[in-house]
Amino acid sequence: MKTMHNIITIDGPSGVGKGTLARKLAQKLNYILLDSGAIYRLAALWLLDNDVDLDDEKAVVKALSLFDIHFASQDGQTHAYLNNQDVTKRIRQEKVGMLASKVAALAKLREMLLQKQRDFASIGNGLVADGRDMGTVVFPQAKHKFFLEASSQIRAKRRFDELREKGEAADYDIILSELEKRDFQDRNRKVAPLVPAEDAVIVNTDQLSIDEVFITVYKGIKD
Ligand code: DC
């Protein structure tokens, strides 16, 4: 397996700050960004909108064969399109995140999304890929692999503060229990579960600010 020097993978549980870190790194390095969670969210929304029975593998495969997605930059933000409809806001809903975690356990679905994710590596100078299995399954040959960790309480508190800051309703206990449920599903599924790659650098962000996480990871890449 040939090492790919221009691929950085950032894996970790929900709400650990992977997205923010990946975005900052991609900007700094002028690399392409792959938010793989958004792809799972798009798949979940597509199956939801088409009323597909998740236990019916044939129906899932059939629906996904008509699944067309793309991302586009608009006003400094990445917009997600599902069959040419802008669904950026819809895929961020908590219920879609939970459903994404559920559909992400389907082996066939993961297989169908694999190439879509790998294609991102051939677009630009390099790639920062964020998700759950970027370093283990999608880009095992990446040179730089990071796995972010933080306690579920700290992740829930950060999410709570973020929602409050935006003026949105937030309940800490609900956020914590949903986050722990999603973690459990993601860590315990049979295919591509959430685990650090053997060669990943683990970064515990409990006591670190976003800037400190960035500096730690950036140093790791440059060393
Ligand atoms: O990162 P996120 O919250 O947007 O991801 C939503 C769900 O998608 C997550 O709970 C599990 C699934 N997912 C996955 O299984 N593998 C990935 N590489 C990314 C996300």
Residue 76 in contact with residue 82, Cβ under 8 Å?
no
Res. 137: pLDDT tops 80: yes
Q: Could you tell me which residues come within 8 angstroms of residue 110 by beta carbon, excluding any fewer than 6 positions away?
A: 104, 191, 192
- Domain residues for 208? 4-217
Average pLDDT, the chain: 94
Q: How confident is the model at residue 18 (pLDDT cuts 50, 70, 90)?
A: very high
Q: Which of 20, 101, 188 to mutate to test the pocket of ligand 1 (most atoms within 8 A of CB)?
A: 101
pLDDT (0 to 100) of residue 186:
93
Domain count across the chain: 1
Res. 1: pLDDT tops 80: no
Residue 196 lies in a domain: yes
For residues 14-50, one letter each, b for 16 or more C-beta atoms within 10 angstroms of the residue's C-beta and e for the rest, the string is bbbbbbebbebbbeebebbbbbbbbbbbbbbbbbbee
pLDDT (0 to 100) of residue 64:
93
Query: Ligand 1 centre and the CA of 215: distance in Å?
Result: 25
Residue 223 lies in a domain: no
Q: Which of 10, 180, 186, 194 to mutate to test the pocket of ligand 1 (most atoms within 8 A of CB)?
A: 186
Residue 30 lies in a domain: yes
In degrees, rounded to 5, the angle at the alpha carbon of residue 217 between the alpha carbons of residues 3 and 96 is 90
pLDDT (0 to 100) of residue 31:
95
Among 157, 120, 162, smallest CA distance to 142 is for: 120
As a whole number of angstroms, the distance between CA 5 and CA 28 comes to: 16
Tokens 């597909």, residue located: 52
The pTM for the full model equals: 0.94
What share of the chain in percent tops pLDDT 90? 87
Residue 137 lies in a domain: yes
Residue 62 lies in a domain: yes
Res. 8: pLDDT tops 80: yes
pLDDT (0 to 100) of residue 178:
93
Q: How confident is the model at residue 76 (pLDDT cuts 50, 70, 90)?
A: confident
**Model confidence pLDDT, tens digit, residues 147-157:** 999 999 999 99
Tallying the residues shown for the chain, one arrives at: 223
- Which residues have any ligand 1 atom within 6 Å of their CB? 14, 36-37, 40-41, 97, 100-101, 104, 131-133, 182, 186
Classify residue 98 as exposed, middle or buried by CB count within 10 Å of its CB (0-12, 13-18, 19+): middle
Fill in the DSSP letter of residue 199. T
Q: How many CB atoms lie within 10 A of CB 175?
A: 21
Q: How confident is the model at residue 160 (pLDDT cuts 50, 70, 90)?
A: very high
pLDDT (0 to 100) of residue 124:
83
Closest C-alpha residue for ligand 1 atom 2 = 37
**Which H or E run includes 204?**
strand 201-204
Residue 11 lies in a domain: yes
Overall average pLDDT of the 164-180 stretch: 93
Residue 222 lies in a domain: no
pLDDT (0 to 100) of residue 75:
82
Tokens 């809903």, residue located: 93
Residue 186 lies in a domain: yes
Report the CATH number at residue 157.
3.40.50.300
Res. 121: pLDDT tops 80: yes
pLDDT: is 11 or 166 the higher one?
11
